[in-house]
Amino acid sequence: MQLFFNSELTKNDKQVSFSKDESRHIAKVLRKSPGDSLSVTNGNGLLFKASLTLVSAKQCTAEIEAVEVSPPPPFHLHMAVAPTKMNDRYEWFLEKATEIGISEITPIICEHSERRQIKYERFSRIITTATKQSLRTWKPRLNEAVTFTEFLSEKNKSELNCIAHCESSKKTGLEELINKGKSVCILIGPEGDFSSEEIKLAVEKGFQPIHLGENRLRTETAAIVACHTAVFLNQIK
């Protein structure tokens, strides 16, 4: 199935128009014709079955014939991950985490962060593409970048809150803490790790120190390991 995306679609819409890029893909790459069927999601759990009425490289439109409502994911996984020095590494994390099943992402700016700005629109496009590729009808939420202290000051609604760090102190394996269906928030620091003060503050705010195995991992690797662990254990427990 080829899945397309339009965030503005509602349950009551009868027609869908595609962006210039998606129209070009439909007409030139897929070589679709009027009458062909397409699947479209709005990223909020709705899956639309549509029939093409106009096909051109500049503009494609389709008539919506049916709408299916997908239930939300069985648990909420929120990961707050520091941007990496090399931007493409963070983009790789966004793509793979979306495919695995992440629910929400917040870039956090930490004391040791070398990158302090993000390209929000580009990141959002990468998540959209990965949502379509993985046939997800729920697009992960991407929040604006905030400082570490700002993130901790926000009201956290997760039932399990964790911080992964490299200091040699007592930590628990993430797999020991995951309970099926319970929401999870995991903090992953920058290349230079969280500072001791940041770790102390997170613990004071109720975040449990965790490890992700014996090896020291890059930021984006640690984020993917944590993401996969949380999603996988929720599927089998």
> For residues 192 and 82, is the Cβ–Cβ distance under 8 A?
no
Q: Is the pLDDT of residue 236 over 80?
A: no
Q: What value does the mean pLDDT take over residues 163-167? A: 94
**What's the confidence (pLDDT) of residue 2?**
87
Phi, psi of 224 (to 5 degrees): -70, -40
Domain boundaries, the chain: 3-69, 77-236
Q: Is the pLDDT of residue 224 over 70?
A: yes
For residue 206, name the pLDDT band (cuts at 50, 70, 90): very high
For residue 237, name the pLDDT band (cuts at 50, 70, 90): low
Q: Is the pLDDT of residue 197 over 90?
A: yes
Share the mean pLDDT of the chain.
94
**What's the confidence (pLDDT) of residue 70?**
93
For the stretch 27-49, pLDDT in tens is 999 999 999 999 999 999 999 99
At the fourth CATH level, which superfamily is domain 3-69? Hypothetical PUA domain-like; domain 1 (2.40.240.20)
**What's the confidence (pLDDT) of residue 180?**
85
What's the Cα-to-Cα distance from 63 to each of 34, 35, 54, 164, 173, rounded to whole Å?
10, 9, 9, 48, 50
CA distance 209 to 122: 32
The CATH architecture assigned to 77-236 reads 3-Layer(aba) Sandwich (3.40)
For the stretch 121-157, pLDDT in tens is 999 999 999 999 999 999 999 999 999 999 999 876 7
Residue with tokens 């999870």: 184
Phi, psi of 233 (to 5 degrees): -65, -30
pLDDT above 70 as % of the chain:
99
**What's the confidence (pLDDT) of residue 27?**
93
Q: Is the pLDDT of residue 164 over 70?
A: yes
> For residues 81 and 104, is the Cβ–Cβ distance under 8 A?
no
**More confident of the two residues 2 and 198:** 198
Does the CA dihedral 198-202-207-209 come out positive or negative? positive
CA distance 218 to 193: 10
**More confident of the two residues 66 and 179:** 66
pTM given for the model: 0.92
What count of residues does the chain have? 237
Q: How far is CA 148 from the centre of its chain?
A: 19
Does the CA dihedral 94-97-102-106 come out positive or negative? negative
| Tokens (6 digits) for 48 | 């639309």
Q: Is the pLDDT of residue 51 over 90?
A: yes
Phi, psi of 230 (to 5 degrees): -65, -45
